[in-house]
Structure 1
Amino acid sequence: MKRTQQFFSLSQRALYALFLSLCISVSPVVAADASQAQSSIGSELEDIKSQVIQLNRDLFILEEDLLFPASTQIAVFVSVDVGRFFTLDSVELKINNQDVAGFLYTQRQRRALEKGGIQKLYMGNLKTGQHQLTAIFTGIDAEGRTIQRAVNHPFEKTDETIMVELKLEDSESSYRADISVEEWVL
């Protein structure tokens, strides 16, 4: 009985040694194949990643076209010229007496507008026909009083995209801020 146990233990050791030697001799080939497979998988992943990014861009464009078709689209922007007679605090936008947008400005956002920035305040859809845009600007005048400036702008929406800029401008002659409206049809 002891001899059989010794035989198996010797044969098991021999098999183990043979297995180790095979593994050691085959490992460089397996490692080379593994590195090639890994680089191949890496390049496939990069290709898939770039395809996903392109599909995401296409989906975003499609979503924009579906949500805001050019035939019904309107965009409203706000800009500020100088800002000595009126420090902008907030703006409220109404179209056809419906509240559509409002914005409360931080000091940083106000400075960006005063340096020439333009803010997209609203983007939406309207039917063709006559419409009324009302913008109410709230802020502080040169004496530190809270005041409001408002503008009503009637416009006609056609099948083209319309863009409206609400420009808050200092008036040197009246020492107060005025609002001008510029309209572009694309």
Structure 2
Amino acid sequence: MMFQFKVLLAKFACISLMLSMSLHSQEAEKTMQLNLDEKTVTQQLQALRKEVIALNRDLFVLEEDLLFPSSTQIVVYLSMNVGTYFNLDSVELKLDDKTVTHYLYTEKQIQALYKGGVQKLHIDNLGQGEHELTAFFIGKGPENREYKRATSLTFSKTAEPASVELSIVDSSVKQQPLFKAVEL
């Protein structure tokens, strides 16, 4: 009788194990289906994000074309090749004696400029004729002294778009930074 009880108990254990495995496999199947649904939704969201980014870029280009038509457009860029004689803190830009931009730099932005980056500092509409651009560079000069220097450029705006590059370069001969404004 004890033997039959043990056999019956063993059969019961096998049946409960098979039921447990069956329930577990059904739960695993449901979990897999939910994961597939989540992946599909995630993939759809990522595709939608990409479309929104592309649309935003296109809208930005259209807005820039409408606000700054090429016949009146001027763009001012900033580039640097410094580090030894000058550490940039900020730039103030005046166009025809009117302050149009004052930009304060973070350490990451300065490092990007040191590595060859070029910043679009200002974009504006200008009428045709003579104009004066003045840029003030503020930072730390040699021996960590406060340093403020300016450079100016007088240029003639035509019907074509105008571009100006402001550049800061180290002069090892003078052991000073040089500030230049060049019409491109």
Q: Is the 8 A contact 1:85 1:141 kept in 2?
A: yes
For residues 1-186 of structure 1, the aligned pairs below 5 Å read 58-184=58-184
Q: Percent identity?
A: 49
What CA distance in whole angstroms lies between the structure 1 residues aligned with 2:54 and 2:99? 36
What CA distance in whole angstroms lies between the structure 2 residues aligned with 1:117 and 1:164? 16
What CA distance in whole angstroms lies between the structure 1 residues aligned with 2:157 and 2:141? 34
TM-score (norm 1): 0.68
TM-score (norm 2): 0.68
Note the aligned Cα RMSD (angstroms). Answer: 2.3
Q: Which runs of 5+ in 1 are unaligned?
A: 1-44
CA offsets per residue over residues 114-154 of structure 1, 9 Å max, x none?
11111111001000000000000001012011011100110
How much has 1:82 moved relative to structure 2? 2.6
Compare CA radii of gyration and give the structure with the larger one.
1
What CA distance in whole angstroms lies between the structure 1 residues aligned with 2:87 and 2:55? 44
- Specify the code of the residue in structure 2 equivalent to 1:134: T
Q: Is the 8 A contact 1:138 1:148 kept in 2?
A: yes
SS in 2 for 1:159: coil
What CA distance in whole angstroms lies between the structure 1 residues aligned with 2:85 and 2:51? 52
Q: Could you say if the C-alpha distance between residues 127 and 54 of structure 1 is closer, same or farther in structure 2, counting changes exceeding 3 Å?
A: same
How much has 1:57 moved relative to structure 2? 5.3
What CA distance in whole angstroms lies between the structure 2 residues aligned with 1:113 and 1:173? 22
- Specify the code of the residue in structure 2 equivalent to 1:126: L
- Specify the code of the residue in structure 2 equivalent to 1:146: E
SS in 2 for 1:127: coil
How much has 1:107 moved relative to structure 2? 1.3
- Specify the code of the residue in structure 2 equivalent to 1:133: L
SS in 2 for 1:111: helix
CA offsets per residue over residues 80-101 of structure 1, 9 Å max, x none?
1132101111100000000001
Aligned residues: 139
